[in-house]
Every structure is written in structure tokens, then in C-alpha cells.
Amino acid sequence: MLSKNFLLIIGGIAGSVYLYKHFNNKPPFNKIIEDIKFKIPIFGEFLRYILLERFTTTMSILIESGVPILYALEISERSACSIRMADTIQFIKNSVKEGRSMAAPMEKSDFFTPMLVQMVTIGEEIGELSKMLKRVAKFYQEYLETFVIRLASIFEPLMIVFIGILIGAMVIAIFMPIFSIALMKTS
């Protein structure tokens, strides 16, 4: 069965690799792949929080250093490693250019958490945006650390069971021939 379909399997793999490499640098394809990544239950949330932490850290450092908000948003947009994040930052930047606050377009986007939107709103109102962004960045850092620790604590028992099964299979593979030979000699 495998020998009959060998060329078909190789062709399918080669075709998949070619299509991925061909479409990999195309923005519509990248958006589709990114949307799929964000929809993966645990990984999507983790990725989103990583991007939010990077954004808040970058913005707080730039604003605290005296960089104008529009230029800080432009730098954040260019340094975003996500098309969705870059598009959202561009939307915020355009809104700020028109004289509106940062919080209004952030609230319209489903990418930002309500806590981040509220902290940006408060930061803009009291004139301490960099401090508020720094607090949110610290929260996200702690959240991500806790997330990784929890994930590791879930996978540790699974890894132990997997390694136990693997070692058990190796022991059986080593001793089965010995037992077979012993049974042959006794019979």
C-alpha cells in the first residue's frame, strides 16, 4: 500500500512545501496563518499577551524618554512582529493624528484587554501615560511568567509518564529476546 502511494505522498509533501514557501511572504497568507495562531486555545492567548507586553514596554520606554506619541506609535508599529498588531497600532496612530485619544481606537479593537484600555484612558487623563503603560507591562510580564510556570507544572507529570513508557518499552525490547531464547532452550 505504501509503495503504491509513495510517489503521491512525496508529491504531496513537496507541493505543500512549495505552496508554503511561495505564499509565505504574501500579506494575505500571513494574515490567515496569524489568525489561525491566535485561535489556538492556549497558544493564541499566550501569543497575544506576549505582543501586548512588548507593545506596552516599548511605548512606556519611548514616552518616558520624551519621544512624541505619534513617533512612538510608529516605532511600535515597525517593531511589531505581528501583522494584526501592526494594523491595530496603525489604526491607533491614525486616530491620534486626527486629535483623538489612544484609548478610543484601542477600545474598538478586540486585540487589547479592557484593563489596558482603562489604564491608557487614566494615563492620558492624568498625564502619566508612560507610568500606566509601565504598570501594565509589569502586570503582563508577571502574568506570562505565571502562565509559563503553570504550563510547565502541567507538562512535568506528562513528561515523566512519557519517559517512563519509553524506558519501559526499551526494557521490554531488551529482555524479550533473552526470555525468548530461555524459553526455546527449556522446550
Task: Produce one character per residue of 139-168: b if its CB has 16 or more CB atoms within 10 Å, e if not.
Answer: bbeeeeeeeeeeeeeeeeeeeeeeeeeeee
Residue type, 43: F
Band (pLDDT 50/70/90 cuts) for residue 35 is confident
Question: Tens digit of pLDDT for each residue in 119-178?
Answer: 999 999 998 999 999 999 999 999 999 999 998 888 898 899 999 999 999 999 888 888
pLDDT score recorded for residue 4: 67
Query: What would the CATH number be for the domain defined by 40-186?
Result: 1.20.81.30
Give 141's contacts (C-beta < 8 A, 6+ positions apart).
Answer: 53
In this model, does residue 24 exceed pLDDT 90? no
Residue 17 has which C-alpha cell?
512545501
Q: Enumerate the domain spans of the chain.
A: 1-39, 40-186
This prediction has a pTM of 0.74
Of residues 17 and 59, more confidently modeled: 59
